[in-house]
Structure 1
Amino acid sequence: MALKKQKLNDAYLSKGLISYIDPESAASEQYRSIRTNIELLPVQEQLRLLMVTSPDYREGKTLTAMNLAVSMAQQGKRILIIDGHVKKDDLSSMFNLSDHIGLTNVLSGKAELMDAVHPTDIGRLDVLPSGTCTDHISELLHPQAMQEIIDAGKEQYDMIVIDGPPVLHASEVKLLAHYCDGVVMVIRNGRTKNESAMNAKETLEFAGAKIIGIIMNQI
């Protein structure tokens, strides 16, 4: 199904999506450095499914996930970014897709992955919004449904990036993390409490998540 390319909501361009609006900036170079570090990780299997999360709200995980995805797409790779934060859907709002079918609809079997994906005007970057299904996502994240998304996504994309919910506020983050090849946790300088960061790290480790790095957000 042919879909019109989604443009970013102008209100979000001023909120730090630096890799898109100023790719030659020092901050964009930092994201490229993080991208390179991820590519050079000494992992046994190729990292194809990455989740970005944070301990709490307002720590910059969504903008970090978007900047990383944009940086990857700028290499000419085909990238899918998924809004896994169903309760808040900031990523979907970035593209005015909050009322579109997406992740929850695919998980519930009411839509096929590629029918719910939207191309963007950013290189080869596509976005899967959070979805309109009202069922609780924890009940939808059963192994078969999630594996079907992963298998279909890996056939179409070089990398899948999930903008996950904050670890300490959503039980589903543990299920999402369990399926990922790697997890990056974002903490915000001057905001994230040490105790919250440690609790989030322990929660992810208990879920069997492969934490590949922690990003200190200065914004």
Structure 2
Amino acid sequence: MNTANYFRGCEGVDLMFTNRRGALEQIDAPARKPVILPMRPSADYASELLAHEPPGGLRHFAIPELCSTPAELFERPAPTAVWPTCERPETVRACAQTAEAIYRRVDSNRSAILALTSPDDGDGKTDLMLGLAPELAKLAGDTLAVDADYAKPDLSLRLILPICDASTGIYSLIYPTNRTDLNVLPHWSGGSASNWSREWFEDLRDRWNLVLFDAPSLERAEPSPLMRYCDGVYLVVRLGYTPRRAAAESARAIHARGSRMLGSIVIG
């Protein structure tokens, strides 16, 4: 499948992930030749591609298949949230290099708020969140991962965290994790994205170096105000699952909602 067809004619698409070398080789050459950084253990293949890296070129990442990451079960909420660990070294390396590429685009002199969204449910957004957040925390320092997907709070479920009442204050619900500099705010009741204010986002900036939202899919109305106050959005799609038209329409919808689309993450 030609990954370029997903976003032909859409603005802001300059970051892709796929685990299929064939798909990468089929990408049509855009106006600026893409940089393809394969994350597979093939030094010769990597050297050949990196030799053609243009300054400011597009970036495509070959990321191994995202696997499920089991977590230890608890009978009651743990004082420290246990962030799942991926046991596939190639996937860990891919996420680390991907995090570096994302973080290079963040202004190091100010806090940043980023969001992951997708055209619909099931595109692998939360799997990607679980892999990227610890690596971004290594680079940014104090990092907060937020489960903002009210219709499908997969991040909280994967971390086995309870859905709590935010009447005593949202910040009281934050868990430290077993990963350095990474904290998590699970899904909470009594809060909709439509009620979030610019002041709350500014308060997040004052407290954290980096805030990463696991946002609802664009099939739902919730992400609109969330993405408007973020510094940038990454759109996650899955090859063979996400319809091309849905991906292209989602990219346009992000721009139409006043958000800055920093790139697209295509999981093969």
Higher helix fraction: Structure 1 or Structure 2? Answer: 1
Cα distance change on mapping 1:48 and 1:76 into 2, 3 Å: closer
For the pair shown, the structure with the greater C-alpha radius of gyration is 2
Residues of 2 paired with 1:76 and 1:201: CA distance?
27
- Counterpart of 1:140 (choices 175, 195, 199) is 195
List per-residue Cα deviations over 1:69-99 (Å, max 9, x = no partner): 1111234711100011011111111222232
**What residue ranges of structure 2 are gaps of 5+ in the alignment?**
1-77
- Consecutive unaligned residues of structure 1, counting only runs of 5 or more, are 14-19
**How far off is 1:42 after superposition?**
7.7
Partner of residue 99, structure 2: 35
Q: Say whether residues 1:22 and 2:22 are aligned partners.
A: no
1:196 equivalent to 2:246? Answer yes
- Give the TM-score, by structure 1 length: 0.78
Which of 116, 119, 124 is equivalent to 1:55? 119
Question: What secondary structure is seen at the aligned counterpart in 2 of 1:185?
Answer: strand
Q: Which amino acid aligns with 1:91?
A: L
Partner Cα separation in structure 1 for residue 162 and residue 132 of structure 2: 21
Q: CA deviation at 1:100?
A: 2.0
Are the structure 2 counterparts of residues 113 and 151 from structure 1 closer, same or farther at C-alpha, using a change threshold of 3 Å? farther
Displacement of 1:165: 0.6
| Count of matched residue pairs | 191
Cα 1:76/1:177, change in 2 over 3 Å: closer
Matches within 5 A, 1:1-219: 4-8=79-83, 13=84, 20-22=85-87, 25-41=89-105, 46=110, 48-75=112-139, 77-101=141-165, 105=166, 110-133=167-190, 137-141=192-196, 146-168=197-219, 170-218=220-268
Q: TM-score, structure 2 length as denominator?
A: 0.65
Distance 2:189 2:174 in 1: 13
Residue 46 of structure 1: how far off its partner (Å): 4.7
Percent identity among equivalent residues?
A: 23
- Contact 1:81/1:127 (CA < 8 Å) preserved in 2? yes
Task: Find the residue that maps to 1:7 and give its secondary structure.
Answer: coil
When the two chains are superposed, the root-mean-square deviation of aligned CA atoms in Å is: 2.3
Residue 125 of structure 1 deviates from its aligned partner by 1.1
| Off by >6 Å, runs of 4+ in structure 1 | 42-45
- DSSP-derived class of the 2:203 partner: helix
Q: Is this contact kept in 1: 2:145–2:212, CA < 8 A? A: yes
Cα drift, residue 140 of structure 1: 1.8
